[in-house]
Structure formats: C-alpha cells, structure tokens
C-alpha cells in the first residue's frame, strides 16, 4: 500500500528508537522523572498501542493520552439525545460505528436498535445523504461527530443537501475543535506536559498555525504527526530534539499531507455551514468556550436540534457521570486507564461504563485490547 | 404436468410449507431431485463400517446459516452450510459422512434462488464426499425471515487413536494456517453494498476435509485444528489458548493477507484478525512435524497458501499475543461485540 | 475518527456532485473530491489523496513524501550499518 507501508519499515523504526533513546538520555529523562509527551489525537493513541510503541520507547518517555477522541468526549446527555432522536417515528438515525455502543443514561444506540429503532451504521455522511434520497418518506438524521478532520465532510454534505433541495435530511451536530481543550489542559495547574504530538488529520484541514499559541504562550514544543509508526517515532524524536535545544516551536512532520495553511475548500465549507457555539460541554472537561460548532441559521432546516427541538435548541441539560466513572480524569491525562478503579472490573469492552472503553480510539480500549492490562493498578 | 413448472409458481408461497401437495412438489423438484436420498422416509437409515471399528467415535455437529446477502462472490448460503458443517467435523479429525439440511424459507422467495442454493450444496457435498440424506422445509410469512435460513447437521466418524482437540496443544507446538485471512468477511462487506466499496474479493468458502486428512497423514502427532469462522483467526486462537492453558504468540509479518483485504481493513478501520473466514483453518502440530505438515498442506488445493504464523508458548497461558512489525508486542483479544452482523 | 488512508483517484464519476473513485490496494470506494478540486476534476485522476469518511481531504505531496522517506531511509541505512558493525564485533568477540 503506497504511502503507508514505506512508513512502517522496521529498520528505520529501530534507527529512530535508538536515536530517541540517545536524546532521551541526553535530556536526562528517566522512568522516575520522565518527559511527558501528550498525543492529542485518539488515532495516535490507537497507533501507539497497535504497534507497541509505548513499550519500545525508553522508560524516560511517558505518553499522556489526550482528549482527541470525539466519541470519548461526548457527554452522556448527547448520547441520550441521539437515542431520543432515533426513537422518533419515521426516523432513520445514521452514525459512525463507534458511537453505537456508548452507554447513555437509559441505553446505548445499539440497545435502542435492538429495541426497534432504525439506527444504521454508515462510513460517510454521503451514505446518509443517499439514504435520504432513497427514502423520501423517512427523516434521515446524521450524527455529525468529530473534530476538524470530519467537520468539513458534514459541511459539504449539508451543502449538497441544500443544492438538491432535500427536505428529509438533517444533522445532529456534535463537531468540536481541538485548540480550546488543549488550552484548557495547559491552563490546568495539575497537568505536567513537556511537549505535544499534534493531530495530523485535523491539521490537514486547519493547518499548523492554530497551534502557535502552544509554543508562543506556553513554551511547549508541538510536532504535527502522521499516523504510521515511523511518523509517530520521528515526531517524538523531533519533540525531544526541541526540548534538548531549549526550543518551543510548531513543526510539521506530516508535510506530505498537511499544508501549512490547511485546506481552503474545507475551511470555506466550515465557515459557510457552521458557527461556534458560545460554549459546549466536554466529558471530563466541563463547559469550554467556543469549542463546539452549531449549524448556522441559514442552514437551520438541516439542523436536527432545531427540527426536533432537542439539545441546545431546547436548553442544554447536564447529566451527571455514572458513579465511579473516571473517563474525565483518564481523558485529560490525569490518570492512566489502569488508574481507574473500574478498569477491567466494572468497566470492560463487553460491559463498558464509559466511552473510553468503547471507542476504538479511547485510551482504555487501547490498553485493554492491545496492552493486555486487565485490572486497575494497585493504588500507590 | 408438475404444478411447479407453471410461471406463477416460480416463487415460494405459504402453500409450499403446508404439508400438502404443493410442498411435496417443491421437495421433489428442488430437493429430492438434486440430493437423491435413498428413500423418502421421515428418517435416513444409515451404516458405515468405520463406525463399527473398535475405538471409533461418532462425531456430530450442527450449524445454522443466516448470511446476508444469500448469494455473494465465491458462494452462497448453501455452499457455506455444507462446507461449514463438513469443516466442523473435519477439524475434530472426523471423516464426514452424512448431512441433514433444513430450510426456513420466506414467502415470496424465488424458486430459482432455492434451486441455485441446492445445486451449490450438492456440488460441495460431492467434493467433500458426503451425502445430504434428510431434511426439512418450512415456509414463513413475508418479513418473518430474510429470504432463506439453512440449518445443517452432520455426522462423521473419528477413527480410533485420533485425538484432535484444543486441550492437546502444548508449548512449542507450531501454528499453521492454510491460506489468506479474512476473505469471507471482506467479500460479504463489499457485497452488502452499505459501504459503497467495490473489490474483487471472493469468499474463501471451501471444504477442508481433504486438507485435514493430508495433515494428519503427514503429521500424525497433530494436536488441534479450528476453522476461523465468526470472530476470525483471533477468536479461534483465543479459544485454543484458553482450552489448552497455553499462551500463543503469532507474528504480524507472517499473517497472509490479500492486498485488497488489507486495503479494505485500512479504509474501514477493521482488524483482519477478526474478519470471518469460511475455508481457512489453523492447525497446531508438534514442532518436529511442522515441515511435513506444511508440505502436505501445500499439495492440496485448499492448502496452497499454507504458512506458519506462530506457536504455543508456556508464557501468559490463555493469552494470545502478537509480535508487531518492529518487535513490539500487543495482545490479540477475543472479539468484543460484533464486527459485522450476519456474516455467516 | 482520525482514520485516513492514502488512495489513488482512478476516475471521475459525477462531476456535478464532485464524485470520483479512489483505489486502495484494489478496493474501490466512491469519494467526494470537493476538498481538493482545483480546476477540472479530470486533473485529479492518477493523484494520490488522503481519504477520510468518503472524502478526498488532501492531495499527497509526492515530493514531501519522498523527502520524509529519504530522511527515514538514511536513518535506516545508518542503523543497518550500526547493526552490521555490532554483529561483526560480536562475532569477533565470539559472542554469537
């Protein structure tokens, strides 16, 4: 597979790992006093565990798993609203696969499907659009979930729906943006972060300059990384080199895909279709200003919240976390998955308490599936 | 003239399940004419000399098939049914003998579809050297089933002295698969059309009876075999690891995959270890018999792609681990939830 | 949801709707090329793009890819040399 397999070469990986070990030593990073590198994006968390990179990098490097998993940061109230929408008569509720098993207060989408709701897994919002064309007598709702990587796709789909004059298509918009939660984490006095591996595919859309504030205002290096193992290793090396040299810059390791200023067509579509919400609730982080997007009034007929009087259109409601669920703490890197008392006990992939055990990009799912951890670590 | 030949009789109706003349005509034209059982009693009466050998055991298995779509590149529900049941017998070291075939048919299903499925079943049965000797037909109202569900049961004979079982696997044993992984799951996904993907991937559906016999002849110490159906290779390996109380280590670089299956997994974020197979198995043999087993497998059509993928170890009993491309390690767990519904 | 994979655009199927076909190792998926459309869509045929949820999100810059691979290959070769040297040393010392 071109542009993928070449970036998995084991010999180059060994070279990168050797160099990482060398620079890590030069900085004086040890298991007791590690360098904390946050990989922001859930896709990176997944790749790290799939290729065993956490075990291959020296003990002086600690990966802090960031909140870049859109399914993981979804508050339970939004899941409940999905179920409510799906249970409306005549609705075909379409969603990416991952979101189906996230527990809501009453049930998950998968359980709602078993109870008779017409919920269908799609790979693309275009598939939902096609369903709307083929089922003019049904209301097709697309669960628009994701960071800036996915935001343009939903926007283009809404524009297409408008061009075709579709009247039975709407989007339940849960698109969120990356920079605000990063700022929230950097402002958190409890967080110890030395550098960042930046989200490669988000950056493909927004470019690399939205991260300038991380280097400029907080003095931390950030390297925007691709998703193959060599991309990740090279990016870690670049972060370490910056630390060794006392630099704090935004670098682009993924230049083959990420343009410096992002993708103009996607940014234009986002601007056309969405407007920032004053604030949006994030699981584990609470309400964050200007971190979520809603569909503009000009496209209100495609906004499921307006059409069905739900969510922020009805007045947002906060749902308390399930007793004992530590998703928020794990997701913001405050504890590792094995630091959650429910890990492997009350919360497993078969019977998840929270989204981090469900989503393929969730840190807990990655630890459980790839890392083999099955029980919480003994409390220190 | 047989009522079956009239044009308006070309779909199955409730009358065909009623036990009366319509049903008898359907059975005669479609099933009996193809399967040709010895007699039309309520039961098949059978004997095979091998069953009477001292130490021989009867092997008995059953499976239901609900695959959607009913026909797909590389096969149909009938082919999966016969191969699936034959394979369930074969992996236990049994020589498959006779199958039953029960059909639940949705009202409105085209009889031509039924005829194609039955023809598939006969063809596969002949290849495997088994006969379909008894069966049943039911018809349910529209919407009460999705075109066609098939249940096959099979009996075979395990010769004296053969003990193929997961519990037999010991540390040091070598794991061999007979070919590429995940073709069936990928073929079904593409055929469903939900994902707007198109690819030339036929299901790997095939009978493995002759393959197993070849392995056992060349490697009489063979310990266990499992066909990697639902849940894929990962699930088969986990079952063996748990039953035998051994660890199993596989090599990512050793896993044989079609480029198209690799591509599909990358696009959809699927792990090929969990994709269903319908003609792929994993067999564990003692280390010193591995070269002979490999050679024997490669001489059989179903084993041309035979390759070693790993081994049983004393470490981490019950666990399956995989050495990744660069020597990293990851756990290969049982599948949680369902990768794809109605895969077989 | 970061799942993106490089695929090659093989044909344009519906220019009005910006639809094309991308090939990943022989698997073909319908993709929307709105993000990368820059002039007549036929100009995209043969190009490699990053495919995400049915959209071609970015054209892969082949020069940048080559530059990154060069750097990595260089490291790889250096590593192979190091490993070969280490193996040679071990042999000399009778450690193998």
Return all residues near B41 (Cβ < 8 A) that are at least 6 apart. Answer: none
Asked whether the beta carbons of A9 and A230 are under 8 A apart, the reply is yes
Residues of A in contact with B266 (CB under 8 A): 1, 4
Question: CA quadruple B325, B238, A54, B263: dihedral positive or negative?
Answer: positive
Does residue A36 contact residue A64 with C-beta atoms inside 8 Å?
yes
Beta sheet of B95-106, edge-to-edge order? B57-65, B148-158, B95-106, B131-140
**Contacting partners of chain B (3+ CB pairs under 8 A):** A, C
Q: Which chain C residues contact residue B197 at CB under 8 A?
A: 27-29
Contact A10 B194 (CB under 8 A): no
- A164: tokens are 């075709």
Check CB contact under 8 Å for A51 and B337: no
Query: How many whole angstroms separate alpha carbon A70 and alpha carbon A201?
Result: 13
pLDDT confidence band for B1 (50 / 70 / 90): very low
Distance from CA of A55 to the nearest CA of B (A): 7
pLDDT tens per residue across span B207-227: 999 999 999 999 999 999 999
Residue of A nearest to B263 (CA): A1
pLDDT at residue A372 tops 50 = yes
Round the average pLDDT of chain B to a whole number and report it.
92
Residue intervals in chain A for CATH 3.40.50.11750: 4-69+190-252
Mean of the pLDDT values across residues B190-214? 90
Q: What is the CB-side half-sphere exposure of residue A67 using CA atoms within 13 A?
A: 27
Nearest to A29 by CA among A77, A61, A51: A61
What span, in angstroms and rounded, lies between the C-alpha atoms of A84 and B292?
Answer: 61
Cβ of A127 and B196 within 8 Å? yes
Residues of chain C with C-beta less than 8 angstroms from the C-beta of B190: 27
Whole-number average pLDDT of chain C: 88
- Binned at pLDDT 50, 70 and 90, residue A115 comes out as very high
Local confidence band at B324 (pLDDT 50, 70, 90 cut-offs): confident
A4-69+190-252: in CATH 3.40.50.11750? yes
**Among C75, C78, C80, the residue to mutate for chain A (most A Cβ within 10 A):** C75
Section C36-42 average pLDDT: 93
Q: How far apart are CA B232 and CA B181, in angstroms?
A: 8
> Which residue reads 């992939």 in tokens?
A349
A372 and B321 within 8 Å at the Cβ level: the answer is yes
**CA angle at residue B320 from B324 to B216, to 5 degrees?**
105
Confirm whether pTM is higher than 0.80. yes
Closest CA–CA distance from residue B337 to any residue of chain A (Å): 7
- How many other CB atoms sit within 10 Å of the CB of residue B234? 22
Q: What is the DSSP letter of C35?
A: G
Taking 80 as the threshold, does the pLDDT of residue A374 lie above it?
A: no
Between the CA of residue B89 and those of A5, B44, B62, B117, what are the distances in Å?
39, 19, 10, 22
Contact (CB<8Å) B263/C54:
no
Is the pLDDT assigned to residue B327 strictly greater than 50? yes
Distances in whole angstroms, Cα of residue B341 to Cα of each of B3, B185, C12 = 38, 10, 32
Return the bridge partners of B320, or none.
B248
Question: What are the structure tokens assigned to B155, written together?
Answer: 């009996």
| Chain B / chain C CB contacts < 8 angstroms | 38
* C76: contact with B, CB 8 A cutoff: no
The CA distances from residue B288 to B167, B173, B208, B244, B255, in Å, are 19, 9, 23, 20, 21
pLDDT digits (tens, 9 = 90+) for B262-313: 988 888 888 899 999 999 999 999 999 999 999 999 999 999 999 999 999 9
Tell the CATH topology of A76-177+261-314.
Rossmann fold (3.40.50)
Token pair of A216, please? 């400029």
CA distances from A345 to A142, A325, A336, A367, B46 (A): 34, 12, 15, 14, 52
User: Taking CB atoms and an 8 Å limit, are B326 and A51 in contact across chains?
Assistant: yes
Query: Considering the domain C5-92, what is its CATH architecture?
Result: Roll (2.30)
* Residues in a beta bridge with B340: none
> Residue A380: what pLDDT?
40
Domain ranges, ordered by start, for chain C: 5-92
pLDDT of residue B15: 86
CB contact under 8 A, B260 and C30: no
Residues of chain A with CATH 3.40.50.11740: 76-177+261-314
User: Is C1 in the B-facing interface, judged by CB distances under 8 Å?
Assistant: no
Q: What percent of chain A has pLDDT over 70?
A: 98
Q: Say how far apart CA A137 and CA A118 lie, in whole Å.
A: 14
């Amino acid at each position: 597979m071109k542009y993928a397999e070449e970036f998995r070469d084991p010999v180059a990986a060994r070279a990168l790992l050797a160099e990482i070990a060398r620079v890590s030593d030069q900085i004086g990073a040890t298991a007791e006093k590690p360098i904390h590198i946050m990989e922001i994006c859930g896709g990176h968390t997944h790749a790290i565990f799939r290729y065993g990179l956490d075990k291959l990098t020296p003990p002086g490097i600690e990966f802090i798993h960031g909140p870049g998993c859109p399914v993981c940061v979804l508050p339970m109230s939004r899941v409940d609203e999905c179920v409510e929408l799906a249970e409306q008569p005549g609705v075909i509720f379409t969603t990416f696969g991952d979101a189906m098993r996230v527990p809501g207060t009453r049930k998950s989408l998968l359980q709602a499907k078993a109870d008779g709701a017409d919920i269908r897994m799609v790979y693309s919002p275009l598939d939902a659009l096609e369903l709307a064309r083929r089922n003019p007598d049904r209301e097709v709702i697309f669960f628009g979930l994701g960071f800036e990587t996915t935001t343009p796709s939903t926007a283009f789909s809404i524009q297409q729906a408008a061009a075709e004059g579709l009247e039975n298509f709407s989007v339940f918009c849960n698109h969120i943006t990356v920079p605000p939660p990063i700022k929230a984490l950097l402002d958190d006095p409890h967080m110890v972060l030395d550098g960042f591996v930046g989200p490669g595919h988000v950056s493909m859309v927004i470019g690399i300059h939205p991260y300038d504030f991380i280097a400029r205002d907080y003095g931390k290096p950030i390297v925007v990384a691709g998703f193959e193992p060599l991309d990740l290793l090279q990016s870690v090396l670049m972060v370490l080199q910056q630390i060794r040299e006392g630099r704090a810059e935004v670098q682009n390791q993924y230049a083959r895909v990420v343009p410096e200023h992002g993708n103009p067509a996607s940014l234009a579509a986002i601007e056309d279709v969405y407007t920032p919400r004053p604030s949006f609730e994030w699981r584990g982080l609470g309400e964050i200003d200007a971190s979520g997007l809603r569909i503009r009034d000009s496209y209100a007929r495609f906004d499921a919240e307006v059409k069905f009087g739900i969510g922020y259109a009805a007045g947002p409601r906060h749902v308390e976390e399930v007793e004992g669920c530590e998703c928020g703490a794990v997701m913001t890197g405050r504890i590792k998955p094995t630091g959650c008392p429910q890990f492997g006990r009350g919360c497993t992939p078969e019977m998840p308490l929270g989204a981090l055990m469900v989503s393929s990009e969730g840190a807990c799912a990655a630890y459980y599936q790839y890392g083999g951890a099955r029980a919480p670590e003994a409390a220190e | 003239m047989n009522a079956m030949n009239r044009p308006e009789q070309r779909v199955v109706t409730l009358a065909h399940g009623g036990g009366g003349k319509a049903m008898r005509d359907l059975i005669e034209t479609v099933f009996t004419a193809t399967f040709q059982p010895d007699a039309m009693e309520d039961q098949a009466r059978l004997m095979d000399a091998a069953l009477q050998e001292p130490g021989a055991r009867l092997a008995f298995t059953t499976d239901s098939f609900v695959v959607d779509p009913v026909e797909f590149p590389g096969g149909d529900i009938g082919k999966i049914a016969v191969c699936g049941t034959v394979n369930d017998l074969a992996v236990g070291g049994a020589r498959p003998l006779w199958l039953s075939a029960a059909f639940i048919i949705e009202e409105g299903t085209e009889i031509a579809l039924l005829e194609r499925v039955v023809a598939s079943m006969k063809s596969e049965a002949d290849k495997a050297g088994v006969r379909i000797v008894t069966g049943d037909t039911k018809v349910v109202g529209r919407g009460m089933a999705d075109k066609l569900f098939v249940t096959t049961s099979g009996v075979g004979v395990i010769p004296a002295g053969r003990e193929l079982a997961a519990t037999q696997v010991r540390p040091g044993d070598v794991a061999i698969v007979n070919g590429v992984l995940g073709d069936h799951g990928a073929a079904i996904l593409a055929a469903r059309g939900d994902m707007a993907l198109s690819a030339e991937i036929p299901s790997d559906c095939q009978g493995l009876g002759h393959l197993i016999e070849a392995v056992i002849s060349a490697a009489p110490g063979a310990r266990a075999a499992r066909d990697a159906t639902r849940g894929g290779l990962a699930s088969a390996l986990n079952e063996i690891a748990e039953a035998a109380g051994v660890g199993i280590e596989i090599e990512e670089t050793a896993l044989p995959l079609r480029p198209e299956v690799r591509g599909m997994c990358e696009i959809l974020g699927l792990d090929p270890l969990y994709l269903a197979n319908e003609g792929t198995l994993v067999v564990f043999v003692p280390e010193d018999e591995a070269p002979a087993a490999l050679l024997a497998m490669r001489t059989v059509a179903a084993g041309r792609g035979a390759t070693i993928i790993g081994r049983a170890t004393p470490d981490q009993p019950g666990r399956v681990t995989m050495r990744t491309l660069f020597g990293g390690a990851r756990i290969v767990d049982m599948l949680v939830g369902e990768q794809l519904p109605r895969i077989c | 949801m970061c799942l993106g994979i490089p695929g090659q655009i093989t044909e344009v199927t519906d220019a009005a709707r910006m639809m094309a076909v991308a090939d990943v190792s022989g698997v073909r998926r319908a993709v929307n090329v709105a993000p990368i459309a820059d002039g007549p869509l036929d100009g995209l045929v043969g190009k490699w793009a990053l495919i995400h949820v049915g959209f071609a999100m970015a054209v892969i810059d082949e020069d940048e890819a080559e530059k990154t691979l060069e750097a990595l290959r260089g490291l790889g070769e250096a590593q192979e040399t190091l490993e070969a040297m280490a193996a040679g040393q071990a042999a000399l010392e009778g450690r193998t």
